[in-house]
Amino acid sequence: MDTQNSGFNIYERHDFDCECGRHHKMPIGEVVIDSGAARKLPYYVKALELGKKGILVTDEVIFGSIGREIYAYWQEQGLEIECYVLKGHIRPDEHTVGNVVCNTPFDADYIVSLGGGTVTDVVRYVATRLKLECVSIPSAMTMDGFFTNMSIIIVDGLQVTYYLNYPSLLLADSDIIAKAPSVMNAAGVGEVISKISAGMDWYAGKLIKDIYYCDRVEAMMGECIAEGAADETIEGIVPGEKKAIENLTDALYKSAVAMAWYDSSPCGSGAEHQLNHFWIKCQDEKGVPQSMHGQEVGVGAVINTMIWEEIMAIDFERFDVEKAVEKTWDRGEWEKEIRAVYGEGAESILELQAENHSFDKAVRRNEIEKIIEHREALAKRFEAMPSSGALIEKLKKAGAPWHPKQLQIDKDELVKSLYFAKETRSGRYNALWLAEALGIMEDVSSKIIKKLEF
């Protein structure tokens, strides 16, 4: 799709009636991707009428490296703004949310986040809860979440996805982002790579579960992949080339546009994102630092693609449907495993899956028959995907992790994630569900372990 001839500017708030029959919109106020964008905050506060008083929320590292200078510049320009600096290691949990709420002035009109995904998620959540305008200034381009209305907050030890208000303004300053450690921007490449496997999952959901699909959304996500996974972009990440940084930023914004048009994330979030949620749980339980979202979903995309490679290697002409049906989980055994894997969080998983995870063999048989019915369409889409090996090479070139070990995920945790990561969301369909339906997860997991040389 040629975004330049859409009849509107995708970098401003817009909406339109689509050929798919739905009304699409991007509620984000305005997006600026440019050198020196952060310094233009005083201008945009006035131009967009964001209010009189604001507060900047950042962390110690970012404030010391770039925040103090920018904050002083804003004040010199007459901007009425306070600053709250989060101390120490920050987790996007109830404690951090409470700190930001308690340090936000009662008379604030808008709140500005300057930092990475954690600061951005917390500020967006607080802005929505306090009904304030939200401005985002990313310090690195680690993910597309900067441009979305989604925040992941840890509540009672489990990651909860909240759909919140979109930012009124996003200032993506390539001068700032290019100075970030290259490993952080490499995580953004991982996020782009994740859209490749997510697209395959989304297409399968359309065929097998009649999940809503839009060609225009698919085209916009395709632009994200073409720009963000291009050799020119990837090769410029390690040296911090501004053009590569701006290309990556633009690609991730287009991903967010596609999800906003879709009004949800299935078009850009597949099994690789569910694996990410499970792996973060594992990291928290072991007390090791969480990896960046883009790092996790990049590795997740490699694993997801490996699952698809095993699924599409099946000879469906000779596939034993009844043998697969007999491998359907017994509800009691499944609940026992969920309680063992998720511990205190098991009850919320069981409640979430109460109407989603079927244990009816007739339902399972019908699902398998639909997979077989659409095998040729799935094969055609799969053939257009890069191989897991090609994704690994792109991630390596960008300086991003590609193996679960690099995320401190061990073999047993990987296997458990293949079986149970999908349970954290309902209404989704991806390679994890297909592998379970086909009764091949044991074989798939052992082959992936062998490929990864665990």
Instruction: Using the Cα atoms of residue 259, residue 264, residue 266 and residue 272 in order, give the sign of their dihedral.
Output: positive
Question: Which of left, alpha, beta for 343 (phi over 0: left; psi -120 to 50: alpha)?
Answer: left
- Collapsing DSSP to helix, strand or coil, 92 comes out as coil
Tokens of 92: 């996007």
pLDDT tens figures, 210-232 = 999 999 999 999 999 999 999 99
Q: b or e along 337-358 (b: 16 or more beta carbons within 10 Å of the residue's beta carbon)?
A: bbeebbeebbeebbeebeeebb
- Collapsing DSSP to helix, strand or coil, 272 comes out as helix
pLDDT band of 202, cuts 50, 70, 90: very high
Residues in the chain: 454
CATH of domain 3-180: 3.40.50.1970
pLDDT tens figures, 400-437 = 999 999 999 999 999 999 999 999 988 899 999 999 99
What is the rounded average pLDDT of the residues 291-297? 95
Interatomic CA distance for residues 317 and 203, integer angstroms: 22
Tell me the DSSP string of 9-21: -TTEEEEEE-TTS
What is the rounded average pLDDT of the residues 95-102? 97
pTM of this prediction? 0.91
Domain 184-209+266-452 annotated CATH 1.20.1090: yes
Tokens of 151: 């925040």
Check pLDDT > 50 for residue 282.
yes
Interatomic CA distance for residues 206 and 143, integer angstroms: 25
Interatomic CA distance for residues 408 and 453, integer angstroms: 15
What is the rounded average pLDDT of the residues 184-211? 98
Interatomic CA distance for residues 200 and 369, integer angstroms: 19
Percent of the chain with pLDDT over 70: 99
Interatomic CA distance for residues 215 and 324, integer angstroms: 33
What pLDDT score does 157 carry?
83
pLDDT tens figures, 323-376 = 999 999 999 999 999 999 999 889 999 999 998 999 999 999 999 999 999 999
Cβ-based neighbour number of residue 75 at 10 Å: 14
Interatomic CA distance for residues 134 and 151, integer angstroms: 13
CB 174 within 8 A of CB 242: yes
> Domain locations in the chain?
3-180, 184-209+266-452
Q: Which helix (H) or strand (E) holds 159?
A: strand 158-163
Q: b or e along 173-212 (b: 16 or more beta carbons within 10 Å of the residue's beta carbon)?
A: bbebbbebebbbbbbbbbbbbbbbbbbbbbbbbbbbeebb
Check pLDDT > 80 for residue 1.
no
Closest CA to 437 of 319, 346, 267: 319
- Collapsing DSSP to helix, strand or coil, 153 comes out as strand
What pLDDT score does 413 carry?
98
pLDDT tens figures, 342-356 = 998 899 999 999 989
Which residues, 6+ apart, have CB-to-CB distance to 307 below 8 Å?
271, 418, 431, 432, 434, 435, 444, 448
Please give the distance of CA 69 from its chain centroid, rounded to a whole number.
Answer: 31
Q: Which helix (H) or strand (E) holds 80?
A: strand 80-86
Check pLDDT > 90 for residue 281.
yes
CA terminus-to-terminus distance, the chain: 42
What pLDDT score does 320 carry?
97
Interatomic CA distance for residues 84 and 55, integer angstroms: 7
